[in-house]
Amino acid sequence: MKMPKILISVLFMLILFGNSAYGFVLLTQEQAMQEMFSDVDEIVEETKQANPEQIAAMKELMGGKLVLFQKGDAAKAIGAKTEFTFYFGIKNGKKVSVSIIEKQPGKWGPIEYIVNMNMEGKIQNLAVMSFVEKRGKPIAKRIFLKQFIGKTIKNKFKVKRDIRPITGATISSRSACFAVKKCIVLYEELYLKVLVSSKQE
Q: Kindly list the distances between the CA atom of residue 31 and the CA atoms of 2, 28, 37, 129, in Å, as whole numbers in the listed order.
A: 52, 5, 10, 9
Q: Kindly list the distances between the CA atom of residue 121 and the CA atoms of 6, 10, 172, in Å, as whole numbers in the listed order.
A: 56, 51, 23
Q: Identify any residues that bridge with 48 across adjacent strands, giving them in sequence order.
A: 84
Please write the tens of the pLDDT for every residue from 70-111: 776 655 657 678 999 999 999 999 999 999 999 998 878 889
Low-confidence ranges of the chain (pLDDT < 70): 1-22, 72-77, 79, 133-136, 196-201
For the chain, the domains span 21-200
* SS3 (DSSP) at 99: strand
